Amino acid sequence: MLEIVVHEIKGYCPVYKVGDKIVIDDPEIVLEKTDALCTHALSTLLHYALILEHDWCPVKLGLTTAEDEEHAYMQCVDPGKPYTEGGTVIFKCHKTTRLHERDTD
């Protein structure tokens, strides 16, 4: 299972705020534990979600450094000012225990 947290926002994002979460339990986006979803971000996040859930390798994928191998960093495709009215959201992802292996709320 992956927990993806909004780590930083450069510019303005109408969907996310810092600290928002997206939880993916392959193949499901766990809506009850997900704060918001944005189509600009999903294309990038889903591209890596399957790979990271089955083979946690963010250093090999170029999504982090060796000093922070517990996290993968990704960003949405909105470039922000001066190109759009939006902004770029940086996501910090880590692998967690699967839902069926822990208590759920």
Domain ranges in the chain are: 2-98
Torsion of the alpha carbons at 43, 30, 93 and 1, rounded to the nearest 10: -120
pLDDT at 91: 98
The pLDDT score that the predictor gives to residue 15 is: 95
- Given this model, what pLDDT does residue 102 score? 45
pLDDT at 105 over 60: no
Q: What is the pLDDT of residues 39-79, one digit of tens each?
A: 989 989 998 998 999 889 999 999 999 999 999 999 999 99
